Chain A
Amino acid sequence: MDMFEKLKILADSAKYDVACTSSGVNRDNPSDGIGNAKACGICHSFSADGRCISLLKILMTNACMYNCSYCYNRFSNDIPRATFTPKELAELTINFYRRNYIEGLFLSSGVIKSPNYTTELMIAALKILREDYKFYGYIHAKAIPGTDNDLIQALGHLCDRMSVNIELPSSESLIALAPDKSKNSILAPMGFIKDTLTENKHALVKYKKTPQFVPAGQSTQMIIGASPETDYSIIKLSEGLYNKYKLKRVFYSAYIPVVRGSALLPSIETKPPLLRENRLYQADWLMRVYGFESSEILDEKSPMLNPFIDPKCNWAVNHPEFFPVDINTADYQILLRVPGIGILSARKIVAARKWGKLDFMHLKKLGVVLKRAQYFILCSGKRAEGIKINESKVISSLLSKKALENYYGFKNGVQIGMFD
């Protein structure tokens, strides 16, 4: 099989993995090799779906021995199979990197022969890159559930970020759809990576020469819409993962049907729930950056994110007792809760009010979206002129006309086919 065909098969099989970020680590090149890494991450291209292409996202092999029913690469699926040799993969990575096509490598794999054997192949490829080519660019590698700890550790010393895919947001769904994986087999390597990371950090403080272990931390991803979990249980799970396993990111991947006629999965005509995925990312962002807790965003009674309003606005209109906040005195964390004020504008407000009292005109200049924010703020004790506050008025300012009808429909329990 020639390179062209192999790459096509193994890129096609890797494309459903969502994480492609190259961020989280700075590494200089001591001038004896190729490449470096920038903590901000660099996107080198954008595919037709608008997603960032930062890394050569590829599988070591798609000849997988597992049969997870949601997965394109399950062994019962009739698709062409291919496997890279470690040398082929390293060479391709370097040649793409030299041409500035990519920021590094995202190496995942189907399970061939055994988890250990698969991981050994991946380690061999990364060794050629790091040792023979002296490659200092970014590498993200998947930890395959079921791999021995010493191999995971060896892999972790060669890459910048590792991830174990949680796949489905509950153990019931895992049993139903991924019979070869279990909650424990997924969480075990995640826990091991976390513990090794902590140890490594301590060791690095003591001994400068300690080899680094996944300096950009670990992440995970889960598939949304293949199984019946609510948004509430999903964001609670994420919150738990952030707290317990110190994950850098949880990625959400709208399920794209790859199986015809399965009783367990959405039908092949189902559109991927992109809006739902987007709302989950927003909720995730609120937890990671804005200091929200999952229980503030959703609860048992209303367990689904309203698709017609973003979760931050939704929280604001449901918590009138929190507002209005005074721009000239409120803390940064409080400012962040105001719809229309983001991280950047909140920071600017804090910096700018040192110079004098801010009024509504200043806020506009600072990039605050007044159309939204005006209902929730005071400037030196005063409301914006001519503002009348009642719930429907506030909500209608936050939404388009069409979204408004749907918003009330959703709130009153009439779901409009969004998650069917």
Chain B
Amino acid sequence: MKQIDICYKYDGSFYGMLCCVFESFEKKEMPIGIFDRGGSLFLVKNIKTDDIKAERVLKGVQDKMGIIGVEYVRLAYLASIKDKEIAIIHFIKEGLNKGKKFIEEIRTGFGPIKKMVAGSINNIFLAKIQKGIDLLLLEKQRFIQFVRFSEVYNRALVSIIEPEHQVLPLLADHFVQRFPNEQFLIYDKTHCLGLIYTNKEVRIERIEDYQMPDLSNEEKEYQELWKMFYDTIAIKERKNEKLRMGFMPKKYWENLTEMQ
């Protein structure tokens, strides 16, 4: 692949990104950057999203790296990684060469030990992908803990979160399985996306702006009860701010009912 002084621009979708991968492989070129919003000083090539091309990429990944390879590409896409599209191209390129063992290698940081220690340019991208996916999965776990619903619109549950990564697709299963008979919305304010579950169907939708509606007295009462429980359950002789912050970093406090 030769390095070219051109940027790709795509629509920001998963399939759109896969089409950038397709383009890069087909033309045997490595663009200097790939982005979905804003402009660039470099020459820009617009990449059209084409489902057939995208699925060809996925099939190639699955054939060579297995289903876990596809999962890696999907997770990497959801993670906030600097120059993530370029990193994903490197990841796929390397993976197509090495096959199934490759995922195991980067997951455990092992495999051909010597190479890992020596490091190479590709390893930097791979390490970035692994790190990004780790952080994404950690954040998913955090929101399984820290999503707080308010009951609004007559028994629907609404939560607003501000994640760094696109965690909504990863949260869907957990909350649907837990609350099969509820209706809920989890709004990701960072990425302007909403996870919506109504009538036993779940979907993710772009929502430009969303504000929490006014709360009923009953809802306010439960929130007060919860806050009071939270304050009461702490043992003041054991106060330990550092420990709390380690488990529940301050960046989540803004949307935690009990920390208001």
Q: Which residues of A contact B (CB under 8 A)?
A: 3-4, 7-8, 11-12, 14-16, 28-29, 31-36, 42-53, 56-57, 92, 95-96, 98-101, 254, 256, 271-272, 274, 348, 351-352, 355-356, 358, 361-362, 365-366
Among A16, A29, A43, point to the contact of B235 (Cβ < 8 A): A16
> Given A15-B234, A15-B235, A49-B244, does the pair A100, B149 have CB atoms closer than 8 Å?
yes
A256 to B243, CA, bound (A): 19
10 contacts between A and B (CB under 8 A): A32-B181, A36-B177, A44-B145, A46-B247, A47-B234, A51-B238, A101-B258, A348-B108, A348-B110, A355-B112
Q: Which of B34-42, B82-90, B224-232 contacts A (4 or more CB under 8 A)?
A: B224-232
A11 touches B178 (CB 8 A): no
B232 touches A48 (CB 8 A): no
The 5 closest A-B pairs by CB, nearest first: A50-B243, A47-B234, A49-B238, A50-B240, A48-B234
B144 touches A42 (CB 8 A): yes
A7 touches B180 (CB 8 A): no
Please indicate the chain A residues that have their CB under 8 angstroms from the CB of B146 in the complex: 44-45
B235 touches A49 (CB 8 A): yes
> Given A49-B243, A362-B117, does the pair A98, B226 have CB atoms closer than 8 Å?
no
Taking the closest CB of chain B, its distance from the CB of A314, in whole angstroms, is 24
12 additional contacts (CB under 8 A) given A4-B225, A7-B228: A48-B239, A49-B244, A96-B225, A98-B182, A100-B148, A254-B238, A271-B237, A348-B110, A351-B110, A355-B113, A358-B113, A366-B109
Range class of the B interface residue count: 35 or more
A92 touches B225 (CB 8 A): yes
B238 touches A274 (CB 8 A): yes
Please indicate the chain A residues that have their CB under 8 angstroms from the CB of B231 in the complex: 48
> Given A45-B256, A101-B226, A272-B238, does the pair A11, B233 have CB atoms closer than 8 Å?
yes
Please indicate the chain B residues that have their CB under 8 angstroms from the CB of A46 in the complex: 243-244, 247-248
A50 touches B247 (CB 8 A): yes
Q: Tell me if B166 counts as interface (CB < 8 A to partner A).
A: no
Please indicate the chain A residues that have their CB under 8 angstroms from the CB of B242 in the complex: 50
Q: Which one of B109, B228, B234, B238 has the highest number of Cβ atoms from chain A below 10 Å of its Cβ?
A: B238
Taking the closest CB of chain B, its distance from the CB of A44, in whole angstroms, is 5
Contact with A along B106-121 (1 / 0, CB 8 A): 0011111110110000
B258 touches A45 (CB 8 A): yes
B229 touches A42 (CB 8 A): no
Number of A-B contacts (CB under 8 A): 149
Q: Which residues of B contact A (CB under 8 A)?
A: 108-114, 116-117, 144-151, 157, 159, 177-182, 221-222, 224-226, 228-244, 246-248, 256-258
> Given A42-B144, A44-B145, A256-B237, does the pair A11, B179 have CB atoms closer than 8 Å?
no
Please indicate the chain A residues that have their CB under 8 angstroms from the CB of B180 in the complex: 29, 31-34
Please indicate the chain A residues that have their CB under 8 angstroms from the CB of B235 in the complex: 15-16, 47, 49, 51, 256
Please indicate the chain B residues that have their CB under 8 angstroms from the CB of A99 in the complex: 148-151, 157, 222, 226, 257
Please indicate the chain B residues that have their CB under 8 angstroms from the CB of A352 in the complex: 108, 110, 113
Taking the closest CB of chain A, its distance from the CB of B178, in whole angstroms, is 5
B149 touches A351 (CB 8 A): no
A31 to B182, CA, bound (A): 10
B178 touches A29 (CB 8 A): yes
A7 touches B225 (CB 8 A): yes
A56 touches B117 (CB 8 A): no
Query: For residue A274, which residue of chain B has the nearest CB?
Result: B238
Please indicate the chain A residues that have their CB under 8 angstroms from the CB of B243 in the complex: 46, 49-50
Taking the closest CB of chain A, its distance from the CB of B170, in whole angstroms, is 15
Among B111, B232, B240, B244, point to the contact of A8 (Cβ < 8 A): B232
Please indicate the chain B residues that have their CB under 8 angstroms from the CB of A92 in the complex: 225
> Given A29-B178, A351-B108, does the pair A12, B148 have CB atoms closer than 8 Å?
no
Among B182, B240, B248, B257, point to the contact of A101 (Cβ < 8 A): B257
Query: For residue B248, which residue of chain A has the nearest CB?
Result: A46
A45 touches B248 (CB 8 A): yes
Q: Which one of A14, A34, A47, A366 has the highest number of Cβ atoms from chain B below 10 Å of its Cβ?
A: A47
B109 touches A33 (CB 8 A): no
B113 touches A356 (CB 8 A): yes
Please indicate the chain A residues that have their CB under 8 angstroms from the CB of B233 in the complex: 11, 14-15, 47, 53, 57
A35 to B257, CA, bound (A): 20
Query: For residue B159, which residue of chain A has the nearest CB?
Result: A100
Please indicate the chain B residues that have their CB under 8 angstroms from the CB of A43 in the complex: 145, 247
Taking the closest CB of chain A, its distance from the CB of B237, in whole angstroms, is 5
Please indicate the chain B residues that have their CB under 8 angstroms from the CB of A16 in the complex: 235
A48 touches B110 (CB 8 A): no
Taking the closest CB of chain B, its distance from the CB of A327, in whole angstroms, is 13
A11 to B229, CA, bound (A): 7
